[in-house]
Chains A and B, each alone.
Chain A
Amino acid sequence: MSDSVLQVRHLTKHYGKIKALEQLDLDLPRGSVFGLVGPNGAGKTTALRIIAGVLEPDAGEIMIDGRLLDGDHTYWAAKIGYMPDFFGVYPDLMAWEYLDFFARTYRLPAVQRARRIDELLELVDLTEKKYTFVQALSRGMQQRLCLARALVHDPELLLLDEPASGLDPRARVAFRTLVKRLQQLGKTIFVSSHILLELAEICDQVAILEKGELKAAGTMAEIEPQLTKQHRTLRVRSLDELSSLQAFLVQQDGVLSVRQDGDCLEIDFGGDEAAIATLLQRVVAAGFRLLSFHEISSNLEDLYLQLTKGETQ
């Protein structure tokens, strides 16, 4: 059996002229917690909906356990448990009936169904709420119930779209603990969020998505140099007019933007250390008298925020 539970190749989806996903490639190692992070509109939900089989891609391939996503929806549905970002509940059902309905869709026999419902309610700590109407549960409880629903058929792969959104800090911690517990139970979990640090705590690997394109992917340790390569902040002080230096800088290769900060200029720069050296050479060659020229160190979250401007298309 392959080491990757899920393989995504060249996944592309456009909504008219809007590019939701462009040539997305992903590999989810078996038993891992994999985070998909990006600002709103980056394409996370589109990617998860396609993988869950509820949306058709324009191009690309998805394989689970080496088998292509094709017409056999039943196979996929059995392998995947999907929890959407905005999930609803059926208000006139009790918690156990809600789970029973979904268990029936997977053709679980009555005895197995009843046992599974009890196990899941215990797992998500809702045993006492078994006979409570779903609309009477708190948001956090509904979230956990929805997670139990995604687990009702014991899937191999769990797709969780922004599972912690709308939860208070205590419920977020509880949810993270639950995700870790599911990983210990052998599940592979694909979780999306727009907050990198939220995923950093629970994910083995992370992929960063921006405007439908993959910006970086790997472990947290691997991600940082990738982000740094794509985005740095440089600070420059000069004896000359800052406006003329600013006008000169914006025309240089790798300079994304330049802004004035007191008596300094801050440069958003995309490039490696050699590119920084080249930029410095040009500034000096142009005759500007520099007092200082250095890179400002950024933490991972800053790098992520600078990389993903949160622009949707």
Chain B
Amino acid sequence: MNMTDRLNPLLVKDVRSRMRGGRSFLMLSFFLLFAGGISYLVYQSTASISSYDFAIVSSGRIGQSVLAALLVTSHILVLLIVPLLTLNAVSGEVERKTYDMLLATPLSPRQIVDGKIGGALAFAALLLFGVLPLVSIASFFGGFTLADFGNGVLVLLMTVICVALLGLAASALFRRTALAVLVTYGIILSLTLVHMFVVVSGASLLNPNHAPPAWWFIFNPVVAQLNSIGVIHDKAMLLAGGRPVWYGYMLFALALSLLSYIVAWRAVRQRQRWHFGRRDWLVVVVALLILVVAGALFAVSGSGQANATSPAMAKPTPVPMYYAKPMPTALPGHGTGAGTSAAVTPLPLPTLQP
């Protein structure tokens, strides 16, 4: 038996059918054009600050802005596109009348879930690899370390896995694509826009003079992404022990992914009605434990950071947000690159000229 025989059959099938035709090409093109376009606009606006405000904008700041734009745009696109790759994974089989044939094969429920998620993640990986050349352009300007980039990619990958599993779980549980779409995007919307609205309005209602505790932000993938690359970076975004908010997000996303995986696994085989058994309880306990540990680690930070001002709550300031973290510098045309930027002395914030 050769190597390809050992591959999950669903993974092979999904890759075969997904990579075929114009759909994948269009999706990849759209992804790159959008991420590249937004990054270009950010580059233009960052570079133009110097001409409007007579300020010196370092190459490093341009690099960090472009990287932030790339990752955040990719993150938003991932939130929108990746669930589409799994939302009809099981419900599509039911609607296409192929599900019974699949269940009659020797594939176990876990193999079905693994194959489906593997196929979706393979395509998501293709999208993200496509962005790499754009990242290399950002690295030409410098302004971020490999660690910054690595953190950002980690958060992005966690989100990819999490939303892919969320879509798969909804698809397996509801067996109807329309309902699965509604629930999955409802959850994603709740974790992003609704979350920000609740945090901002909740904080101003409860205590208008204080920033909300940092752990409030661990549920929001976009905030975690910005935090991971140092764009949103101040005391209010530190959890207990000085850990940044994105650490909390990683744990939260891990717990949600684990839960989604189990739900998908248990719901995928319909020959038995789902009885909530000992194994399910064990999984719930493990997922809850992760959340409790995360809470224990980070919840205390709420009081510790109460007096700090969150960027999300901060009053408008003439200094752009990306100046919040001291930047290494490099002259255009003399890019320090990601690996060397840490050694460069930070440049003072630009001042307005009379």
Which single residue of chain B is at the shortest CB-CB distance from A54? B103
| Contact flags A93-132 to B (C-beta < 8 A → 1, else 0) | 1000100011011110110000000000000000000000
Q: Which 9 A-B pairs have the closest CB atoms?
A: A92-B17, A88-B97, A104-B9, A88-B96, A105-B105, A77-B106, A88-B98, A54-B103, A82-B104
Which single residue of chain B is at the shortest CB-CB distance from A72? B106
Q: Check if A62 is an interface residue, CB within 8 A of chain B.
A: no
Report which residue of A54, A77, A82, A87 has the largest number of chain B beta carbons within 10 angstroms of its beta carbon. A54
Residues on A with beta carbons closer than 8 Å to the beta carbon of B108: 73
Flag if B97 contacts A84 (CB, 8 Å): yes
Q: Check if A211 is an interface residue, CB within 8 A of chain B.
A: no
8 A Cβ contacts from B66-104 to A: 93, 96-98, 100-101, 103-104
Q: In the assembly, what is the distance between CA of A84 and CA of B1, in Å? A: 31
Flag if B5 contacts A87 (CB, 8 Å): no
Q: Check if B272 is an interface residue, CB within 8 A of chain A.
A: yes
Flag if B9 contacts A105 (CB, 8 Å): yes
Q: Check if B315 is an interface residue, CB within 8 A of chain A.
A: no
Flag if A52 contacts B100 (CB, 8 Å): yes
Flag if A90 contacts B105 (CB, 8 Å): no
Residues on B with beta carbons closer than 8 Å to the beta carbon of A106: 105-106
Flag if A110 contacts B105 (CB, 8 Å): no
Dominant SS at the B interface? loop
Flag if A78 contacts B104 (CB, 8 Å): no
Flag if B103 contacts A53 (CB, 8 Å): yes
Q: Check if B21 is an interface residue, CB within 8 A of chain A.
A: yes
Which single residue of chain B is at the shortest CB-CB distance from A105? B105
Q: Check if A244 is an interface residue, CB within 8 A of chain B.
A: no
* CB contact between A56 and one of B12, B18, B272 (< 8 Å): that residue: B272
Flag if B97 contacts A102 (CB, 8 Å): no
Residues on B with beta carbons closer than 8 Å to the beta carbon of A53: 103-104, 271
8 A Cβ contacts from A49-64 to B: 49, 52-56
Q: Check if B279 is an interface residue, CB within 8 A of chain A.
A: no
Residues on A with beta carbons closer than 8 Å to the beta carbon of B18: 92
Name 16 extra pairs, CB < 8 A, besides A52-B104, A105-B9.
A49-B100, A53-B104, A73-B106, A74-B106, A77-B105, A82-B100, A82-B104, A84-B97, A87-B97, A88-B97, A88-B101, A101-B9, A101-B13, A102-B101, A109-B1, A146-B101
CB distance from B76 to the nearest CB of A (A): 28
CB distance from A155 to the nearest CB of B (A): 10
Flag if B16 contacts A149 (CB, 8 Å): no
8 A Cβ contacts from A120-172 to B: 146, 149
8 A Cβ contacts from B264-288 to A: 270-273
Q: Check if B107 is an interface residue, CB within 8 A of chain A.
A: yes
CB distance from B138 to the nearest CB of A (A): 36
Residues on B with beta carbons closer than 8 Å to the beta carbon of A56: 271-273
Flag if B9 contacts A54 (CB, 8 Å): no
Residues on A with beta carbons closer than 8 Å to the beta carbon of B13: 90, 93, 97, 101
B contacts with A, residue count (CB < 8 A): 29
Flag if A97 contacts B106 (CB, 8 Å): no
Report which residue of B97, B101, B270, B273 has the largest number of chain A beta carbons within 10 angstroms of its beta carbon. B101
CB distance from B122 to the nearest CB of A (A): 15
* CB contact between A105 and one of B2, B20, B107, B273 (< 8 Å): that residue: B107
* CB contact between B97 and one of A86, A91, A101 (< 8 Å): that residue: A86
Flag if B106 contacts A105 (CB, 8 Å): yes
Flag if B101 contacts A87 (CB, 8 Å): yes
Flag if B271 contacts A110 (CB, 8 Å): no
Residues on B with beta carbons closer than 8 Å to the beta carbon of A109: 1-2, 5
Residues on A with beta carbons closer than 8 Å to the beta carbon of B353: none
Q: Check if A173 is an interface residue, CB within 8 A of chain B.
A: no
* CB contact between A78 and one of B16, B21, B106 (< 8 Å): that residue: B106
Q: In the assembly, what is the distance between CA of A107 and CA of B12, in Å? A: 13
Q: Check if A89 is an interface residue, CB within 8 A of chain B.
A: yes
Q: Check if B317 is an interface residue, CB within 8 A of chain A.
A: no
Q: Check if B51 is an interface residue, CB within 8 A of chain A.
A: no
Residues on B with beta carbons closer than 8 Å to the beta carbon of A90: 13, 17, 96, 98
Flag if A80 contacts B12 (CB, 8 Å): no
CB distance from B89 to the nearest CB of A (A): 13
Residues on B with beta carbons closer than 8 Å to the beta carbon of A78: 106
Beyond A52-B100, A56-B271, A82-B100, is A93–B106 a contact (Cβ under 8 Å)? Answer: no
Flag if A84 contacts B106 (CB, 8 Å): no
Flag if A84 contacts B101 (CB, 8 Å): yes
8 A Cβ contacts from B4-52 to A: 4-5, 7, 9, 12-13, 16-18, 20-21
Which single residue of chain A is at the shortest CB-CB distance from B112? A105
CB distance from A236 to the nearest CB of B (A): 50
CB distance from B303 to the nearest CB of A (A): 52
